[in-house]
Structure formats: structure tokens, C-alpha cells
């Protein structure tokens, strides 16, 4: 597997000053297949439905962004939302706490199903505790897909 390059833009450990969550939160996840299709240096192509996340994707080194999935899940504090992205990747997100600056701390695990010796096997592709700023998108990437990479955008609303 390639290095996670731009894998996590915001990463932090849960700190002692964090406040436990009391209320459910709504997770919004958008999965994107990012590729390079040689549209030209300054031209980037975005599928319909990616308008709200375009700014978060524009800085990436890809020129084409195909929307794979968009989903929302409401979870209770310390409950894990399991979101199947495709046949290869499954995202597991657990809201953990809120810090003094109102950022949410979430545990993020991405499982990858691979074929090894003729058998399907699941392995952990990513495991991190991240900070999510309300109204912004946490961008996770670096996960291999045919001709490109999987990019996940995660946001949280209370």
C-alpha cells in the first residue's frame, strides 16, 4: 500500500481537557474516487453533488473527482457508525469527545478487504483519532483504488 500522503489533515489525541459528549451527533460522509485524467494543469472536474465539498478537494493533486457515496448517520456518544463505502473499504467512526474549542474528537478506523492466497481477508488500513471542526470537512485519503485513490470527507453536526 502506498504511503498515506495526505491521509489525515487534522490529527490529534484525546486530551484531558476534552468534555464527554452527551447528545447524539450526525455524521455526514462523502466518498470520492479521485483520479488524474489529464484535463490540464488548472482544470479540475467534479461530479454533480460535490459542490459543497469542492473547496476541500481542490487542493488535492488530482484533477477528477467522482462521487461514490454520500450518507448521513446519527449516533449516540461512544457509539460506532459503520459505513460500507464499497466492496473494499468500510469506515467506522466513533464520536469520542468535544474539546474546549468546540472541535469534535472522533475515532476513525478504515478496514480494507483484500484477496490473499485466494481468500478474502480484512485488515486495518487506517486507525486514528481526529479533530473535526463543525462546519468543516475532515479529509481522509491515500487509500488505493483502481487508477486513483479513495478520499473520504467527514463532517459532524449536533
Lowest mean pLDDT among 31-35, 39-43, 65-69, 101-105: 39-43
Q: Across-strand partners of 33?
A: 66, 150
pLDDT of 17 above 80: no
Lowest mean pLDDT among 5-9, 86-90, 99-103: 5-9
pLDDT of 131 above 90: yes
Mean pLDDT for the stretch of residues 78-97: 95
pTM of the predicted structure, to 2 decimals: 0.84
Half-sphere exposure of 113 toward its Cβ, with a 13 Å CA cutoff? 11
pLDDT at 20: 82
Residue predicted with more confidence, 103 or 158: 103
How far apart CA 141 and CA 27 sit, in angstroms, is: 18
Residue predicted with more confidence, 5 or 117: 117
Amino acid at each position: 500500500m502506498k504511503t498515506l500522503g495526505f491521509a489525515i489533515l487534522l490529527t490529534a489525541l484525546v486530551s484531558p481537557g476534552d468534555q464527554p459528549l452527551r447528545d447524539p451527533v450526525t455524521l455526514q460522509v462523502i466518498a470520492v474516487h479521485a483520479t488524474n485524467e489529464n484535463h490540464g494543469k488548472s482544470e479540475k472536474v467534479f461530479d454533480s453533488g460535490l459542490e459543497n465539498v469542492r473547496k476541500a478537494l481542490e487542493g488535492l493533486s488530482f484533477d477528477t473527482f467522482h462521487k461514490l457515496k454520500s450518507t448521513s448517520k446519527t449516533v449516540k456518544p461512544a457509539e460506532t457508525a459503520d459505513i460500507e463505502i464499497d466492496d473494499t473499504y468500510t469506515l467506522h467512526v466513533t464520536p469520542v469527545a468535544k474539546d474546549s474549542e468546540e472541535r469534535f474528537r472522533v475515532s476513525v478506523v478504515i478496514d480494507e478487504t483484500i484477496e490473499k492466497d485466494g481468500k478474502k481477508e480484512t485488515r486495518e488500513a487506517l486507525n486514528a483519532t481526529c479533530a473535526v471542526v463543525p462546519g468543516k470537512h475532515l479529509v481522509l485519503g491515500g487509500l488505493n483504488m483502481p487508477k486513483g485513490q479513495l478520499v473520504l470527507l467527514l463532517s459532524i453536526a449536533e
